[in-house]
Amino acid sequence: MRRKRIHCANFVELVTDHLEGALSSRDRNAFEEHLRVCPPCANYLDQMRRTVATLATLFRRAQ
């Protein structure tokens, strides 16, 4: 079986599914491989994780 490769634009589209644990194993492997070789996308993922965590904190405080 050929390995699936993704590019930065595809990576960005998959971030939400990754954070929700909704990627297929093939997509997850391609996502993680891209993450290892692309520092800008690793940074983007880190920023998205921080954003989600901050919003969750704000939401809990607002309740």
User: Pick from 32, 36, 1: which is nearest to 17 by CA?
Assistant: 32
Tell me, what's the pLDDT at 60? 87
Give residue-wise pLDDT tens across range 7-30.
999 999 999 999 999 999 999 999
- Calculate the average pLDDT of the chain: 92
Cβ contact 34:6 at 8 Å: yes
Tell me, what's the pLDDT at 11? 94
How many Å separate Cα 24 from the centre of its chain?
Answer: 13
pLDDT band at 38 (very low <50, low <70, confident <90, very high): very high
Cβ contact 31:11 at 8 Å: yes
